[in-house]
Amino acid sequence: MNQNQQKIQNPETAIPTSPEMNERDFMTDMLATEKYMTASYTTYLNEASSDHLYQDISQIFNESQDCQRNLYNAMFKHGWYGLDPADQQTMQQSYQQFTGYKNQLPYPH
């Protein structure tokens, strides 16, 4: 990461320094759970043989995805979740990598 680039996040709010779980700990746990759940629902949706169950799980997946996004936004707002900016070289390397994948596809692009 370039020395001029800083982590993208809001200022962190005060966190109690006690051994008990605090609001940030609970939100981190909930976010991790929602990420796990949406990944599991995705696997089910890819392999579902019942249209009725597919529709039900699809709705639950969407609700879980929305919950995950809301948790992320709340944590970002409090400064509890940050992002590292990508430098130009890293973005160019990723672009070239995925352009190479695209060229390997068997159908026209």
| Residue 3 placed within a domain | no
pLDDT score at 4 = 53
Measuring CA to CA, how many Å separate 90 from each of 2, 38, 98, 100?
Answer: 11, 28, 12, 15
CB 22 within 8 A of CB 16: yes
| Residue 108 placed within a domain | no
3-class DSSP assignment, residue 15:
coil
pTM of the entire predicted model: 0.67
| Residue 13 placed within a domain | no
pLDDT score at 1 = 45
Query: In the chain, which stretches have pLDDT less than 50?
Result: 1-3
> How many domains does the chain contain in total?
1
pLDDT score at 109 = 58
| Residue 57 placed within a domain | yes
| Residue 89 placed within a domain | yes
| Residue 94 placed within a domain | yes
| Residue 14 placed within a domain | no
**pLDDT tens-digit profile of 47-67?**
999 999 999 999 999 999 999
Query: Residue 59's domain spans which residues?
Result: 23-103
